[in-house]
Amino acid sequence: MAFDKIRQGVKNVVIKTALKHLPDSTIAKVIGDLYPYKDTATYRRVPAEPLDRAAVLSEIAGMARSEDARGDKGTVSGSLYCGDHDHYHFLGEVFDQFSHANVLQRDMYPSATKFEGEIIAMASDLLHGTGVGVVTSGGTESLITALYSYRELARAKHGVTKPNVVMPVTAHVALDKGAHWMDVEVRKTPLTGRYVADVAAMAARIDDQTIALVASAGDYAHGLIDPITEIGALAQSHDIGLHVDGCLGGWLLPWVERLGYDVPLWDFRVPGVTSISADTHKYGYALKGSSVLLYRDKELRRQQYFAYPDWPGGLYLSPGFAGSRSGGILASTWAALLVTGQEGYLAAADAIMRTATTIRDGVAAIPELEVMGDPLFLVAFKSAGDLDIYLVNDSLIAQGWRMNAAQLPPALHFCVTRPNTAPGVAEAFVEALHGAVDYAKEHKGESAKSGAVYGFGGNPKGNELVTSVMFKVLDAMHAVAPGGKAS
């Protein structure tokens, strides 16, 4: 909800202050958008008297209805992958059975072993794996965990002490976060003219401290599949691993391939691919909070296991980052795969691809715009000339559309999901896009309200400033509404 507005506000204030430090009052204005519920009762402590359940439920239902309204219309890129409230309701019912269960306690909840093992098996079957994997809380945890496993294996096997990972600039930013936490150097490599990883550039950055390569299928910014076959061969020639980030495409591309679309090989069929992340909570149509991390072999998975025998609390064993985990997530993810079935995934992929093709063709027919690369389900586009793409976005926002704004270069993307496949949505988008391009031409030279906080990419001072503002926004996201109504 407020993120577009925040980005827009951040970009405006950043540009206006031209690298001067921002007054707190300006930041406070940007942050103000975070609190649309300021005028409802604001709780600063646990209420002394328990509230009425019906009242609490009604307040929550009101928020959910209003926040879902836009996504349900199909005018939002990405974010909501399923959009079927009946399906959500069913998954909610399943979640309810085990919401309270802690899957650490397998003697009490052996069902968790069935759910987790079978989720991994089904993912592995889809991606031609070896049945080795773990279930995590989402794409970020899968990526960071994989990075950790590679670091540990490289340390043990090759004595690596100053680890680095080589990946194209489009690899997901969660890896930068993981590398930051784990003191791994990130070596970023440029893209080709088709916006995919430049394999020669990757080769040039590998040395004896490289723990792994990373590539995407498809990447977040442009939805494209990196040349995995070549990157796999490169990884093998250096005896290092290759993680393929299929968080976004992992549960969609196999069905797209089965439908007969031209999908380059990217999964475990490619020699050299040693791990894959694929998010069940995206195109797997599970509830938010689940992803699968698959490994080609147990030795790599073993790196993320932790056992500590000498703790007074008992002998401790843990497969990954989390301690207690809710059985509800495992049960509902398992159930999502079963009730969707191959038939359901194929039908959804078919509708998504038809919608994406209409959008791609519509964008390609507008001379002022350029489709980036050769997309399948996520269509990224940029200006083909001097049009300000963020002015285009201003108009799309005003017309009720919510695109994802990318940067370096400035671009927008439409990640097509099931809600976008409703009849007429793709055509309506193309029409809105024509209007938006006209708007951008008419307002040429004006500063756009929206943006991806770009334009300071090559300017470290600018990036520092943006980071400092974003940290204040993060602080604000963890605070109660300032001046919120008393409870």
Ligand X SMILES: Cc1ncc(COP(=O)(O)O)c(C=O)c1O
Q: Which residues of 145-169 are buried (b: 16+ CB within 10 A; e: fewer)?
A: bbbbbbbbbbeeeeebeebbbbbbe
In the bound state with ligand X, the residue whose beta carbon lies nearer, of 124 and 291, is: 291
Examine residue 245 and tell whether it contacts ligand X (CB under 6 A): yes
In the bound state with ligand X, the residue whose beta carbon lies nearer, of 151 and 172, is: 172
**Helix, strand, coil content of the chain in percent (nearest 5):** 45, 15, 40
Cβ 366 to ligand X shortest distance, Å: 25
Q: How many CB atoms lie within 10 A of CB 415?
A: 24
Examine residue 450 and tell whether it contacts ligand X (CB under 6 A): no
Examine residue 144 and tell whether it contacts ligand X (CB under 6 A): no
User: Which DSSP letter does residue 211 get?
Assistant: E
Cβ 282 to ligand X shortest distance, Å: 7
Q: DSSP of 395-436, one letter per residue?
A: HHHHTT-BPEEETTTTEEEEE--GGGGSTTHHHHHHHHHHHH
Examine residue 247 and tell whether it contacts ligand X (CB under 6 A): yes
In the bound state with ligand X, the residue whose beta carbon lies nearer, of 247 and 371, is: 247
Distance CA 316, CA 394 (A): 53
Cβ 163 to ligand X shortest distance, Å: 21
In the bound state with ligand X, the residue whose beta carbon lies nearer, of 216 and 383, is: 216
Please name the residues in contact with 10: beta carbons below 8 A apart, sequence gap of 6 or more: 30, 453, 466, 469, 470, 473
Of 11-19, 132-140, 158-166, 389-397, the segment contacting ligand X by CB under 6 A is 132-140
In the bound state with ligand X, the residue whose beta carbon lies nearer, of 174 and 366, is: 174
Examine residue 116 and tell whether it contacts ligand X (CB under 6 A): no
Examine residue 250 and tell whether it contacts ligand X (CB under 6 A): no
* Single residue of 147, 154, 234, 248 touching ligand X by CB under 6 A: 248
Examine residue 138 and tell whether it contacts ligand X (CB under 6 A): yes
Examine residue 279 and tell whether it contacts ligand X (CB under 6 A): yes
Distance CA 431, CA 401 (A): 12
Distance CA 426, CA 417 (A): 11
In the bound state with ligand X, the residue whose beta carbon lies nearer, of 170 and 340, is: 170
Directed axis angle between helix 24-32 and helix 460-477, to 10°?
A: 60
* Single residue of 4, 219, 226, 370 touching ligand X by CB under 6 A: 219
Distance CA 46, CA 190 (A): 51
Taking CB under 6 A as the rule, which mask of x and - marks residues 283-312 in contact with ligand X? --------x---------------------
- Asked whether 124 and 130 are in contact (CB, 8 A), the reply is yes
* Single residue of 124, 136, 140, 417 touching ligand X by CB under 6 A: 140
- HSE-CB of 38 using CA atoms within 13 angstroms: 11
Distance CA 230, CA 119 (A): 29
Cβ 219 to ligand X shortest distance, Å: 6
Cβ 417 to ligand X shortest distance, Å: 11
Closest residue to ligand X using C-beta atoms: 139
- Asked whether 228 and 215 are in contact (CB, 8 A), the reply is yes
Cβ 78 to ligand X shortest distance, Å: 7
Binding-residue total with ligand X (CB under 6 A): 14
Examine residue 136 and tell whether it contacts ligand X (CB under 6 A): no
In the bound state with ligand X, the residue whose beta carbon lies nearer, of 216 and 450, is: 216
Distances (CA, A) of 257 to 43, 127, 252, 351, 412: 50, 12, 9, 14, 25
Distances (CA, A) of 338 to 57, 97, 98, 333, 334: 29, 17, 17, 9, 6
Measuring CA to CA, which residue among 9, 115, 131 is closest to residue 330?
A: 115
Cβ 18 to ligand X shortest distance, Å: 32
Cβ 203 to ligand X shortest distance, Å: 23
User: Which DSSP letter does residue 233 get?
Assistant: H
- The interface with ligand X within residues 162-201 (CB under 6 A) comprises 172, 174
Considering only the C-alpha atoms of the chain, give the largest distance between any 2 of them, rounded to a whole number of Å.
Answer: 71
In the bound state with ligand X, the residue whose beta carbon lies nearer, of 219 and 267, is: 219
User: Which residues form the interface with ligand X (CB under 6 A)?
Assistant: 138-140, 143, 172, 174, 216, 219-220, 245, 247-248, 279, 291
